[in-house]
Amino acid sequence: MRRLACLPALALIACAPAPEPVTGTLPIFGDGYRFKGDICRRVGEDDFTNPFLDDAADLVACPEDAENLGVFVIDTGAEEVARRDGYVLFSVPLR
């Protein structure tokens, strides 16, 4: 009898909506930085990123495990300013 009493509770759990996937807290936007489809992307303003924003530079986030970060830094003159949510944040001077 005890097993039957659990069935309604299991049905409620099984029917509950799945939680939304966590995508990080950085305000990342765009289709890629420099070129559409690039893995690095622009970052917008929030409490964390505000100190790194600059009118003379783009704030860009690249995945920490990206293979070409060294090339990105050399090509763009980027300077690492922080790490968060699996991303490296770079300040990239505007040309």
Taking only the tens place, the pLDDT of each residue in 1-12 is: 555 555 554 444
For 42, what's the count of Cα atoms within 13 Å in the CB-facing half-sphere? Answer: 15
What's the pLDDT tens digit per position in 36-64? 999 999 999 999 999 999 999 999 999 99
Per-residue pLDDT for 67 more than 50?
yes
Q: What is the pTM of this model?
A: 0.73
The encoded tokens of residue 59 equal: 């704030």
| Cα separation, 73 vs 32, whole angstroms | 16
| Cα separation, 6 vs 36, whole angstroms | 52
